[in-house]
């Protein structure tokens, strides 16, 4: 099946329109529902802020299983809460809308190929256990003041731009237990040096127990946001750098394991001015010296957590990240 876009669906033939109409009227699946869609977000996505107490996604709404792209995009674009179980490979192009109060969770073998998901002015979204490959733009884009988004146990690789972009005032995000590989520009927080107004004090994000596996850069690259909490991640063979804090961002880099990373932490990068970084309890194996500067608001101001021993991360993180581990 060739990639399709949302616009193509809406402007397609009468047969395609009939398929979409049938998908909209279909009842919730009677397939077994596993416990994974109802797990609890931690980190910034689990906080009681901005009128939400944590991130619950589509909990309370119907649970549906989708097996074709038309039905998948249709349910993603509805206003009502849904738990969307993805069964199979969803092929489409460009970034497609994912609205508020949704859980999108992959069943075994689920994949989004060629396109990505766009969380635009939305809240309370969970994306779990999904493989993203070959996106022609960003694989996952969270933007325009969206908040309370949890990305967990995903596998992301081979896109044309970023694998995860958190930009334009997005806030209260957690990215956990994901495998990033076969890519360069991994995760961007804050899209440009000129966006201080909307981004300052926002972009609060937790990255924990992720595997940055030979990806080149942006693990993450941060502008303006504070605090950004990067803890218990495994960085391996990152050719350009690990974490970059720029434009007065405040980043805590804590209890991570850097292996064969020549520049584990940068303060300032390219044409962007310096940010602030506090590093503590990290392991630097065959890696360069980290840069640090200033002070950073403690994430414990917002949530509690207990870091794992960073010496064990080369074993525990690859064994637990990505799809099929929940």
Which residues belong to the active site?
218
Concatenate the DSSP letters of all residues of 221-236 into one string: EEES-S-EEEES-EEE
Beta-carbon-side half-sphere exposure of residue 17 (alpha carbons within 13 Å): 5
* Structural tokens at position 221: 């690259």
CB 59 within 8 A of CB 103: yes
Residue 171's DSSP bridge partners are: 147
Report the helix count and the strand count for the chain, using DSSP H and E: 5, 27
Phi and psi torsions of 107, nearest 5°: -80, 170
* Structural tokens at position 38: 């109802």
| DSSP-assigned letter for residue 53 | E
Tokens 């979204």 sit on residue: 125
CA 82 to chain centroid, in Å, comes to 19
d(CA 71, CA 77): 10
**Polymer length of the chain:** 326
Closest CA to 149 of 208, 103, 180: 103
Q: Is 82 helix (H, G, I), strand (E, B) or coil?
A: strand
- The shares of helix, strand and coil residues in the chain, as percent rounded to the nearest 5, are 15, 35, 50
* Structural tokens at position 238: 């990152």
Q: Is 157 helix (H, G, I), strand (E, B) or coil?
A: strand
Closest CA to 132 of 185, 166, 90: 90
């Amino acid at each position: 099946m060739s990639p399709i876009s949302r616009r193509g669906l809406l402007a397609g033939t009468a047969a395609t329109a009939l398929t979409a109409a049938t998908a909209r009227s279909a009842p919730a699946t009677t397939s077994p529902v596993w416990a994974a869609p109802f797990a609890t977000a931690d980190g910034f996505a689990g906080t009681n802020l901005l009128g939400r107490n944590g991130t619950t996604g589509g909990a309370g709404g119907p649970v549906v299983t989708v097996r074709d792209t038309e039905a998948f995009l249709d349910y993603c674009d509805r206003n009502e809460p849904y738990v969307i179980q993805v069964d199979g490979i969803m092929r489409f192009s460009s970034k497609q809308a994912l609205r508020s109060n949704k859980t999108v969770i992959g069943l075994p073998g689920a994949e989004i190929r060629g396109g990505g998901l766009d969380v635009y002015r939305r809240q309370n979204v969970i994306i779990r256990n999904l493989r993203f490959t070959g996106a022609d733009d960003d694989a996952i884009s969270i933007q325009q003041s969206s908040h309370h988004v949890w990305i967990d146990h995903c596998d992301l690789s081979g896109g044309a731009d970023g694998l995860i972009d958190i930009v334009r005032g997005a806030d209260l995000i957690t990215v956990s237990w994901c495998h990033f590989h076969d890519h360069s520009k991994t995760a961007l927080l804050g899209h440009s040096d000129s966006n201080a107004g909307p981004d300052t004090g926002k972009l609060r994000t937790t990255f924990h127990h992720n595997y940055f596996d030979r990806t080149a850069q942006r693990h993450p690259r941060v502008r303006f946001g504070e605090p950004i909490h990067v803890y218990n991640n495994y960085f391996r063979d990152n050719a350009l750098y690990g974490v970059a804090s720029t434009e007065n961002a405040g980043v805590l880099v804590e209890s991570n394991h850097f292996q064969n990373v020549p520049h584990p932490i940068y303060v300032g990068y390219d044409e962007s001015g310096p940010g602030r970084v506090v590093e503590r309890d990290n392991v630097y194996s065959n890696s360069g010296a980290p840069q640090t500067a200033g002070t950073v608001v403690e994430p414990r101001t917002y949530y509690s957590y207990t870091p794992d021993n960073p010496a064990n991360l080369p074993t525990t993180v690859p064994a637990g990240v990505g799809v099929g581990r929940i």
